[in-house]
Amino acid sequence: MFVPEGFLFSGLSCGIRKENKLDLGLIYSPKELTAWGVFTTNTVKAAPVLLGKRFIKEKEIHGVLANSGVANACTGEEGFKRALTVLKEVAKHLKIPYKSLLPASTGVIGEQLPLEKILPNIPSLISNLSAQNYIQFAKAIMTTDTFPKVVSKKTEEGIVIFGIAKGAGMIAPNMATMLAFILTDAEVSKDYLKKSLPKIVEQSFNRITVDGDTSTNDTVYMLCSNLKKIKNWEKFENRCLEVAKELAYLIIKDGEGASKVVKILIKGAKTKKEAKILATSIANSPLVKTAFYGEDPNWGRIFSALGKSGIKFNPQEVEIYLNGIPWVANFKNVNSEAKIKEEMRKPEIELCIRLKQGKISYEVLTTDLTEEYIRINAHYRT
Mean pLDDT by 10 residues, the chain (382 residues): 97 93 98 96 94 96 97 97 98 98 96 98 98 98 94 97 87 65 98 96 91 81 98 97 97 91 98 96 95 97 96 97 98 96 97 97 96 85 64
Report the predicted TM-score, pTM, of the whole model to 2 decimal places.
0.93
Residue 349 CA to residue 97 CA, distance in Å, equals 48
Distance CA 377, CA 382 (A): 10
How crowded is residue 214: how many other Cβ atoms within 10 Å of its Cβ?
21
- CB-based burial, 25-48: b 16+ in 10 Å, e otherwise: bbbbbeeebbbbbbbbebeebbbb
Residue 326: beta bridge partners? Answer: 321
Q: What is the pLDDT of residue 172?
A: 60
Give the residue from 167, 366, 168 showing the smallest Cα distance to 279. Answer: 366
Q: What pLDDT sits at residue 177? A: 56
pLDDT in tens, 133-179: 999 999 999 998 999 999 999 999 999 999 999 987 665 655 545 89
DSSP 256-311: TT---EEEEEEEEESSHHHHHHHHHHHHT-HHHHHHHHTT---THHHHHHHHTT--
Residues recognised as catalytic: 177
Alpha-carbon 288 to chain mean position: 22
Q: How many residues does the chain have?
A: 382
**Cα separation, 229 vs 233, whole angstroms:** 10
Chain region(s) in the chain for CATH 3.60.70.12 = 8-253
pLDDT in tens, 208-253: 988 776 778 889 999 999 999 999 999 999 999 999 999 999 999 9
The predicted pLDDT at position 210 comes to 80
Q: Where in the chain is the domain with CATH 3.10.20.340?
A: 261-378
CATH architecture of 8-253: 4-Layer Sandwich (3.60)
Which superfamily does 261-378 belong to? Answer: ArgJ beta chain, C-terminal domain (3.10.20.340)
Q: Identify the bridge partners of residue 27 per DSSP, sorted by sequence position.
A: 9, 64
Closest CA to 33 of 71, 61, 73, 72: 61
